[in-house]
Amino acid sequence: MPTDSPIRPDPLPLPARPGEGRTDLVGLSRDALRAALIAAGTPEKQARMRTAQLWQWIYQKGARDFAAMTNLAKPYRALLAEHFTIGRPELVTRQVSADGTRKYLLRVAGGHEVEVVYIPETDRGTLCVSSQVGCTLTCSFCHTGTQKLVRNLTAGEIVGQIMLARDDLGDWLRPGEGMGERPRLISNIVLMGMGEPLYNFDAVRDAMRIAMDGEGIGLSRRRITLSTSGVVPEIARAGREIGCMLAVSLHATTDAVRDKLVPINKRWNIAALLEALRAYPKLSNSERITFEYVMLRGVNDSDEDARRLIRLIDGIPAKINLIPFNEWPGAPYQRSSNRRIRAFADILYKAGYATPIRTPRGEDIMAACGQLKSATERARKSKREIEREAGPQAP
């Protein structure tokens, strides 16, 4: 049974409320932080070192209060506290699934809400992070796509999701401990929560650079996966400026079906998408692209689809992630049967593709892929609107 526990009050003193005129340091790029420190009176010669020290306190030790930063002189700590804060998104609720999955509902500036999901596995712990409140795209099988309210998250709000999960999991470096000494609970990050990350490029890039930086959150870029619905012009830029692993929501093998499932296909079709992927600069045998493929009964799950998929992605080092459709109230599709999913996977496997079938996690708390949608976001499309967008394919 899910445990629906309201979050306990934070025992740490909050350094400041937003709007008190101090700058929140979370999410600032190294250059921006350095400039902010100099503007606040840090001698230029020291600024680089202070930036590194602050990053370690903020992103590795989880410090919330400048007073705790014992390797900085007391008057300097006071100067920092005068000008800056170290913020967090506000935690609204935290749910724990029977399978250990945790779903956090966070409130960000303006009262908007986003969801973050932590998925523990035997060999890793993955945090599924959101990039936007809602999503401007309207994929017909995705709950987030029915949410009307949308705003981009800031870099601080994106990194803040990781930090808040680390607070909850007690996943910060312990006193005296070095980076890499102990496996961390959050070992992987996937940008697969709410939103289309490539439509919030700059904030996602800045946040992921902090996540990948050895003095920041400190995860290897191979442990960070950005999932896109196929914003073709931004794919090469993501390779150049972020350089993390890429997952692509393909979900169909013909343009006619993909137009219905992932409407951005009308703008950039399958051929254009695959061309961008072939050129993804980081592409190599060791850096496969993950193709995500949601299994929808009678829509995209035939043997013929599987064979067409193999032909389409021929030549691209790839892994295919089959996602059994996660249902949500009013959804116009059904999940393919297990037998169908296995038969589909088998065809791909015989063609040489690693084809993990994603086990739905946290179903009892609606934490599974594509089910995220802020609970208080009541303005939603009607069932009829969803069905109209889904078109005649829907069962």
* x-or-dash string of contact with ligand SF4, 236-275, rule CB under 6 A: -------------x--------------------------
Q: Is 219 in the site for ligand SF4 (CB under 6 A)?
A: no
Q: Does 154 bind ligand SAH (CB under 6 A)?
A: no
3-state secondary structure of 265: helix
Q: For residues 116 and 164, is the Cβ–Cβ distance under 8 A?
A: yes
**Range list of β-strands (E), 212-300:** 224-228, 245-249, 289-295
Total residues belonging to the chain: 395
- Selection from ligand SAH, ligand SF4, none that 369 binds (CB < 5 to 8 A by kind) is ligand SAH
Query: For residues 63 and 273, which CB has a smaller minimum distance to ligand SAH in the complex?
Result: 273
Does 323 sit near ligand SAH (CB under 6 A)? yes
Helix (H) or strand (E) holding 247: strand 245-249
Q: Could you tell me which stretch among 11-19, 61-69, 137-145, 375-383 binds ligand SAH (CB under 6 A)?
A: 137-145
End-to-end CA distance of the chain: 31
User: CA–CA distance from 294 to each of 73, 122, 123, 251, 320 (Å)?
Assistant: 54, 24, 24, 5, 10
For ligand SAH, which stretch binds (CB under 6 A), given 57-65, 148-156, 225-233, 280-288?
225-233
Question: Residue 132, SS3?
Answer: strand
**Which residues, numbered 138-197, are part of the site for ligand SF4 (CB under 6 A)?**
138-139, 142, 144-145, 195-196
Q: Which residue is nearest to ligand SAH (CB)?
A: 370
Orientation angle between helical segments 303-312 and 338-350, nearest 10 degrees: 30
Is residue 211 within the footprint of ligand SAH (CB under 6 A)? no
- Judged by beta carbon, residue 57 or residue 325, the one nearer ligand SAH is 325
Shortest Cβ distance from residue 10 to ligand SAH (Å)?
29
The nearest distance, CB 144 to ligand SF4, in angstroms, is 4
Which of residues 60 and 144 has its CB atom nearest to ligand SF4 in the complex?
Answer: 144
Catalytic residue status for 369 = yes
Q: Indicate which single residue of 57, 59, 66, 141 sits in contact with ligand SAH (rule: CB under 6 A).
A: 141
> Alpha-carbon distance 314 to 371, whole Å?
31
State whether the Cα torsion 291-295-300-304 is positive or negative.
positive
Query: Catalytic pick from 128, 139, 244, 369?
Result: 369
**Cross-strand pairs, 103:** 95, 117
3-state SS class at 296: strand
Are residues 149 and 239 in contact, defined by beta-carbon separation less than 8 angstroms?
A: no
Beta bridge partners of 116: 104
| Min CB(249)–ligand SAH separation in Å | 4
| 234 contacts ligand SF4 (rule: CB under 6 A) | no
**Rule CB under 6 A: is residue 322 a binding residue for ligand SAH?**
no
Rounded Cα gap, residues 281 and 235, in angstroms: 9
Burial of 254 (0-12, 13-18, 19+ CB in 10 A): middle
The whole-angstrom separation of Cα 366 and Cα 301 is 24
84 binds, among ligand SF4, ligand SAH, none (CB under 5 to 8 A by kind): none
Q: Is 113 in the site for ligand SAH (CB under 6 A)?
A: no
Catalytic site residue from 115, 157, 234, 327? 115
221 token code pair:
């870029």
Q: How far apart are CA 29 and CA 51, in angstroms?
A: 10
Q: Does 115 bind ligand SAH (CB under 6 A)?
A: no
CB nearer to ligand SF4: pick between 72 and 294: 294
How many binding residues for ligand SAH (CB under 6 A)?
18
Distance of CA 263 to the CA centre of its chain: 21
28 binds ligand SAH (CB under 6 A): no
Choose the stretch contacting ligand SAH; rule: CB under 6 A; options: 114-122, 140-148, 162-170, 272-280.
140-148
Report the C-alpha gap between 93 and 279 in whole angstroms: 42
* Largest interatomic CA distance in the chain: 70
Q: Which stretches of the chain bind ligand SF4, using CB under 6 A?
A: 135, 137-139, 142, 144-145, 195-196, 229, 249
Q: Which stretches of the chain bind ligand SAH, using CB under 6 A?
A: 139, 141-143, 192, 196, 227-229, 249, 292, 294, 323, 325-326, 369-371
What amino acid positions are annotated as catalytic residues?
115, 369
